[in-house]
Amino acid sequence: MVKISVRTPLVELDGDEMTRVIWQMIKEKLILPHLDVQLEYYDLGMANRDATDDFVTVQSAEAIKRHGVGVKCATITPNADRVVEYKLKKQWDSPNGTIRAMLDGTVFRKPIVVSVVPPMVRSWKKPITIARHAYGDIYKNSELAVPGPGRAEIVFTGADGAEQRKTIAEFTGAGVIQGVHNTDPSIRSFARACLAYAISEKTEIWFGAKDTISKTYHARFRDIFAEEAAARTEDLKRAGVSYFYSLIDDVVARVMRHEGGILWACMNYDGDVMSDMLASGFGSLGLMTSVLVSPDGKFEYEAAHGTVQRHYYKHLKGETTSTNSVASIFAWTGAIAKRGELDGTPDVVRFANMLEEATLECVEGGIMTGDIARIASIDVREPATTEGFIDAVATKLTAKLS
């Protein structure tokens, strides 16, 4: 069988634990037998990140900047226990956080809709993608416990020494104070990334905030989004998509009645909560993709879940596992399809689509791992093993391509 040629290198970021094991199977059985592709490889496994003082993560982000598209395996963000387990020099930062900062990117999470895993919300027929602004708000907050009566104020001291003050509250007893912030450049990058994604995926974009209450903070998000949407009016029109703004409570109500097929842009806290709600409503994190998009149109695809530590320990003992590889497969297909789209090679895009079809047909035909079997609408007597599922997908894909 003649392999399909991929014109531009694809940046590959390897990872940790059970997802690393799955990653190799996917590459050897589903990708390399059919694609003639140059993979610019970076090992973001915990051991190599430690050995390189995490410089490999910086190198991988620079490679994505050069080539435009990367595909990433799940990685460990080490805590104190992991430092001991892996004999690390220190608790290294999240590789996702490093790459996101270097690309100035926004994370988009999208459920993988499978007919045998019906959504919990009856109206949802198409996936709803969440875009979360991953900066500021309560995640960069400052807090105080108030011991008793007194005045709480916001104070801003400018570079010239001039002060602005505003009273928060006059306390008559104990209480708490929280200060949050955001920046115009961060909000603008978020808006631009959301619009770039919506135009790329040809999906309408919704954004909601509480500007009727927060007439300065939330209104700033509303205004910057409106400015950026206006700047890309022609691009939105060519893609056949629209930008819609409303109050966040109205957007939530609309989402619950909508059939889906939209991009829902959320402020930081809203995105944190709503992405987990959507994952649960559509199935699980094992059936959710994640893509990092920069404002200038660079893309990094990965699964939304972690490294599946418990299954990895079973694997090391030689025990059989039934680990869900669907989201990891879709990370590859997302990156391959985007590479083909940017290169203008429709046969590469077609291959990615066929691999997704083969994967979904296996699940819908009753070949699935244990986690999906537990939430499926059909009876599955014997869930597939980790390798067995990937082998089934490989067989179906080969049949489609022949």
pLDDT computed for residue 332 by the predictor: 98
pLDDT computed for residue 286 by the predictor: 86
CATH of the domain at 56: 3.40.718.10
CATH of the domain at 191: 3.90.190
Quick one: 250 and 127 in the same domain?
Answer: yes
pLDDT computed for residue 101 by the predictor: 82
State the DSSP string of 62-128: HHHHHHSEEEE-------HHHHHHHT-SS-PPPHHHHHHHHHT-EEEEEE---TTS--SSTT--S--
Count of domains forming the chain? 3
* pLDDT 10s digits, 54-76: 999 999 999 999 999 999 999 99
pLDDT-based confidence at residue 276 (cuts at 50, 70, 90): confident
pLDDT-based confidence at residue 294 (cuts at 50, 70, 90): confident
pLDDT-based confidence at residue 325 (cuts at 50, 70, 90): very high
pLDDT-based confidence at residue 100 (cuts at 50, 70, 90): confident
**What CA–CA distance (Å, rounded) separates 203 from 213?**
29
Quick one: 290 and 270 in the same domain?
Answer: no
Quick one: 9 and 88 in the same domain?
Answer: yes
Domain's final residue, options 226, 249, 282: 282
Quick one: 316 and 391 in the same domain?
Answer: yes
> Is residue 232 predicted with pLDDT exceeding 90?
yes
pLDDT computed for residue 251 by the predictor: 97
State the DSSP string of 208-224: EE-TTT-TTHHHHHHHH
Quick one: 132 and 278 in the same domain?
Answer: yes
Contact 89, 46 (CB under 8 A): no
> Is residue 293 predicted with pLDDT exceeding 90?
no
Quick one: 324 and 295 in the same domain?
Answer: yes
Find the domain containing 162 and state its range: 142-179
Domain's final residue, options 234, 253, 282: 282
* pLDDT 10s digits, 369-399: 999 999 999 999 899 999 999 999 999 999 9
pLDDT computed for residue 55 by the predictor: 97
Mean pLDDT rounded to a whole number for the chain? 94
**What CA–CA distance (Å, rounded) separates 399 from 139?**
49
Quick one: 313 and 370 in the same domain?
Answer: yes
Quick one: 26 and 68 in the same domain?
Answer: yes
pLDDT computed for residue 339 by the predictor: 98
**What CA–CA distance (Å, rounded) separates 131 from 290?**
10
pLDDT computed for residue 260 by the predictor: 94
Domain's final residue, options 263, 282, 301: 282
State the DSSP string of 173-219: S-EEEEE----HHHHHHHHHHHHHHHHHHT-EEEEEE-TTT-TTHHH
Quick one: 332 and 268 in the same domain?
Answer: no
Quick one: 66 and 24 in the same domain?
Answer: yes
* pLDDT 10s digits, 146-175: 999 999 999 999 999 999 999 999 999 999
pLDDT computed for residue 116 by the predictor: 94
pLDDT-based confidence at residue 301 (cuts at 50, 70, 90): very high
> Is residue 201 predicted with pLDDT exceeding 90?
no
Quick one: 132 and 163 in the same domain?
Answer: no
Quick one: 18 and 161 in the same domain?
Answer: no
pLDDT computed for residue 380 by the predictor: 92
